């Protein structure tokens, strides 16, 4: 028996994602592909399509993180905001990300910025994130301050911004130097460890 469209269920799905949802999620709520297309074209249920495969309830309250929500929903439930974008969400340093940084598991390496939307930078990793590597900020899945600092210290973020971020994270003791260096050594990347040791030393000065 064909399921009838459940508007309330679709709203509940979107409400947990900043007002966004995918075609697959809409199908779970009883909306066929053709029905969603009809609503987008006619505006009967007030559905918008900001990017391929991702939709938004037009009347859902606006959110300052709408761009981040759209990128997360488009990329999938395993995606996590990371690197400079996570740094910004944690209010560490004054870095202004040029793109939305998203960590994705190796199994999703086939994804491309084009498939998830322009302005997205995907960081594909073979080693999966641990539960204690992820937290939430305003409902968004984000790497923790510790994990974020490790990622940017090993990446191409401006060294000065890395030092500022480490210093700001250590001041309220969100992250200790010992914990940061210990986590870096556990990764086993000698070059990254040396870079981080230098950054930590400068942050302490």
Instruction: Output the pLDDT for position 72.
Output: 94
Report the CATH number that the domain containing residue 192 is assigned in CATH. 3.30.460
**141 pLDDT higher than 70:** yes
Residues 32, 38: Cα–Cα separation, whole Å: 10
What is the count of structural domains for the chain? 2
Average pLDDT, integer, range 14-27 = 91
Does 36 lie in the same domain as 93?
no
What is the average pLDDT score of the chain?
A: 88
Residue 187 falls within a domain, yes or no? yes
Does 180 lie in the same domain as 126?
yes
Full-prediction pTM beyond 0.85? yes
Which segment of 48-52, 55-59, 93-97, 166-170 scores lowest on mean pLDDT? 48-52
Does 83 lie in the same domain as 27?
no
The rounded Cα 113 to chain-centroid distance in angstroms is 14
| Residue 96 domain boundaries | 66-204
pLDDT band per the 50, 70, 90 thresholds, residue 1: very low
Average pLDDT, integer, range 182-195 = 87
pLDDT in tens, 76-89: 989 999 999 999 99
pLDDT in tens, 24-63: 898 888 888 888 877 777 765 688 876 667 889 888 888 8
Average pLDDT, integer, range 177-189 = 89
Most confidently modeled of 11-15, 94-98, 116-120, 185-189?
Answer: 11-15
CB atoms within 10 A of CB 69: 20
Residue 79 falls within a domain, yes or no? yes
Does 71 lie in the same domain as 49?
no
Does 116 lie in the same domain as 72?
yes
Write out the E strands in the chain: 20-22, 47-51, 54-57, 80-81, 100-105, 120-125, 134-137, 140-143
């Amino acid at each position: 028996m064909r399921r009838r469209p459940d508007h309330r269920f679709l709203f509940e799905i979107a409400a947990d994602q900043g007002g966004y949802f995918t075609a697959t999620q809409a199908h779970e709520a009883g909306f066929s592909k053709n029905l969603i297309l009809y609503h987008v074209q006619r505006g009967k249920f007030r559905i918008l399509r900001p990017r391929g495969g991702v939709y938004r309830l037009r009347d859902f309250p606006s959110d300052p993180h709408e761009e981040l929500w759209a990128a997360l929903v488009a990329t999938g439930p395993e995606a996590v905001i990371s690197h400079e974008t996570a740094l910004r969400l944690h209010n560490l340093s004054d870095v202004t990300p040029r793109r939305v940084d998203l960590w994705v598991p190796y199994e999703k390496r086939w994804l491309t910025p084009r498939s998830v939307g322009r302005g997205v930078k995907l960081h594909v990793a073979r080693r999966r994130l641990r539960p204690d590597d992820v937290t939430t900020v305003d409902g968004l899945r984000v790497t923790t301050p510790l994990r974020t600092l490790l990622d940017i210290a090993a990446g191409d973020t401006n060294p000065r911004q890395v030092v500022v971020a480490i210093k700001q994270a250590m001041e309220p003791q969100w992250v200790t130097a010992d914990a940061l260096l210990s986590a870096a050594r556990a990764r086993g990347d000698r070059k990254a460890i040396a870079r981080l040791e230098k950054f930590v030393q400068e942050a302490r000065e």
